[in-house]
């Protein structure tokens, strides 16, 4: 149901790479404020449904969701280690945003290039 809505919003038959990028960004955004496990558990079924609806292998989509959910660099609440060093390091929220956003962008670029090579959308 949600997958059908997402595919509809992205056009009749969107490019799987575009869908993967959108799900990476969604997962990467959510994981900044919630557990990476919860983020993956929330988005994985949606990603599987979308991939199947496109006739594509879900492996690349799922890997993008999982990698993005591990990119909790941009907030102190994204992952426990960030929270643990917040006080002793006298960091501010924006310190995480400044340092972490660049890391997330690098992870996005590398992932969008590498993931479809390792896990093709339409394997032979």
Q: Residue 76 has which token pair?
A: 């102190």
Point out the residues of the chain with pLDDT beneath 70. 1-4, 6-7, 10, 12
Q: Which residue has the tokens 């006298």?
A: 90
Number of domains in the chain: 1
Is residue 124 situated within a structural domain? Answer: no
Q: Residue 92 has which token pair?
A: 């501010």
Average pLDDT value for the chain: 92
Is residue 122 situated within a structural domain? Answer: no
Q: Residue 124's CB: how many other CB atoms inside 10 A?
A: 3
Is residue 71 situated within a structural domain? Answer: yes
Is residue 123 situated within a structural domain? Answer: no
Q: Residue 86 has which token pair?
A: 């917040």
Is residue 46 situated within a structural domain? Answer: yes
pTM of the full predicted structure? 0.89
- Tell me the residue range of the domain where 75 lies: 2-7+14-117
C-beta separation of 19 from 25 below 8 A:
no
Element spanning 121, H or E: none
Supply the DSSP symbol for 11.
-
């Amino acid at each position: 149901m949600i997958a059908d809505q997402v595919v509809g919003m992205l056009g009749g038959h969107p490019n799987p790479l575009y869908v993967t990028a959108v799900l990476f960004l969604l997962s990467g955004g959510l994981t900044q404020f919630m557990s990476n496990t919860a983020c993956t558990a929330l988005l994985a079924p949606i990603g599987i449904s979308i991939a199947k609806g496109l006739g594509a292998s879900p492996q690349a989509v799922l890997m993008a969701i999982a990698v993005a959910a591990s990119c909790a660099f941009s907030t102190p609440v994204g992952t426990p280690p960030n929270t643990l060093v917040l006080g002793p390091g006298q960091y501010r929220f924006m310190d995480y945003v400044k340092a972490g956003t660049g890391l997330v962008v690098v992870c996005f670029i590398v992932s969008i290039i590498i993931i479809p090579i390792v896990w093709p959308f339409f394997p032979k």
